[in-house]
Amino acid sequence: MTSLGGHIGAYSEPGEGTTFRVVLPTTDTMVGEEPRTSSEAPSSRSTKSARVLVVDDEPPIANTLRELLAPSTR
């Protein structure tokens, strides 16, 4: 985690569960792509995307989060 410039934290309360928070820095570089130098202009294609992992033992909460985080089709 730290070698990637991020960190992980945990919070736990007896009888209430545990929450882990993983924080990683963002990047405009795609996997397998060489990093751009600051003099290079970004490409015109949109490559912005994100992936979120949600783990919960209550299906209604996981389903609600899936709906809230889904890409908008508007």
Question: What is the pLDDT averaged over residues 2-16?
Answer: 89
Q: Is the pLDDT of residue 11 over 90?
A: yes
Q: Cα separation of 11 and 23, whole Å?
A: 14
18-57 pLDDT, tens digit per residue, is 888 888 887 765 555 565 555 555 554 555 667 777 778 8
Q: Is residue 14 part of a domain?
A: yes
Question: Where does the pLDDT of residue 3 fall: very low under 50, low under 70, confident under 90, or very high at 90 and above?
Answer: confident
What is the domain count for the chain? 1
Q: Is residue 18 part of a domain?
A: yes
Q: Is residue 5 part of a domain?
A: yes
Within 8 A by CB and 6+ apart from 54, the residues are: 62, 65, 66, 69
Q: Cα separation of 1 and 17, whole Å?
A: 23
Q: Is the pLDDT of residue 74 over 90?
A: no
Give pTM, 2 decimals: 0.38
CB 36 within 8 A of CB 28: yes
